[in-house]
Amino acid sequence: MPVIDLAITPLRELNSALHGIQPGSNDLSFEVVNPRGSHSVAVGIDTPVTVEVKGSVGYYCAGMNDGGSVTVHGSAGPGVAENMMSGTVVIEGDASQYAGATGRGGLLVIKGNAASRCGISMKGIDIVVHGNIGHMSAFMGQSGHLVVLGDAGDALGDSLYEAKLFVRGSVKSLGADCIEKELRPEHLTKLVELLEKAGVTGVRPEEFKRYGSARNLYNFNIDNAEAY
């Protein structure tokens, strides 16, 4: 396993190595040490490579991930896994604002808390947060799943489309056009799948509430003008 020390090696060399992996290569596992809050660590991965980051990172870690498996043994700054396409990103600590924003696929697991705007404009990504999430999370969420074992802040799911939100704790307030919905058998099945993938044990899917779009803001209606 190649070990890249960011106290010695420029970040550009790390990302170049991850982008330059050739078909049939045996070097598909990397360990990154001394990240020291560096920004844009392990961005743009497009092969099934495994990256273990031993420490906390700055903004946009694992952005545009497509098929890689990235684990951060620490916390992450803003925009972790932004625009992720596929693969898995795990944050062992906390994540700052807009984690998983615009994600189109894959799984983002945050084992601590996530700050504001978690999962904004999500387009197919699955996000599991072991702790709490901040305000305006899942804003304009189009598709995918956001699972929160803790509490949610203000304006959850504001202007939501068809993303499915599951919260085990309390919700401070719901955003425009977001309502509580029935937790049906197919949702329980999906919750079990996501919780297992995220390494969550001892939690029953029946403990969650589901939130989704009331579907009143899909098209402009003068009667809803004050809600826009």
Q: What is the pLDDT of residues 3-31, one digit of tens each?
A: 999 999 999 999 999 998 877 777 789 99
Q: Give me the chain's average pLDDT, please.
A: 94
Residue 222 lies in a domain: no
224 pLDDT higher than 80: no
Residue 136: phi, psi to the nearest 5? 60, 25
* Count of domains for the chain: 1
pLDDT of residue 223: 67
Whether 177 maps to a domain, the answer reads yes
pTM: 0.94
User: Looking at the domain assignment, is residue 107 inside a domain?
Assistant: yes
- Assigned domain for 219 exists: no
Banded pLDDT at 135 (limits 50, 70, 90): very high
Tokens at 47, concatenated: 């092969």
CB 136 within 8 A of CB 175: yes
Residue 220 pLDDT > 80: no
Residue 90 lies in a domain: yes
Which CATH number do you get for residue 46? 2.160.20.60
Phi, psi (degrees; rounded to nearest 5) at 53: -100, 115
Mean pLDDT for the stretch of residues 41-48:
96
Task: Count Cα atoms within 13 angstroms, Cβ side, for 3.
Answer: 5
Strands (E), the chain: 3-5, 29-33, 50-54, 66-72, 86-91, 107-110, 123-129, 143-148, 164-167, 178-181, 209-213
Residue 228 inside a domain? The answer is no
Mean pLDDT over 48-57 rounds to: 97
Mean pLDDT of 152-177: 97
Taking only Cα atoms into account, the Rg of the chain, rounded to an integer number of angstroms, comes to 18
Domain range spanning residue 198?
1-19+26-213
Q: What is the mean pLDDT of residues 53-63?
A: 98
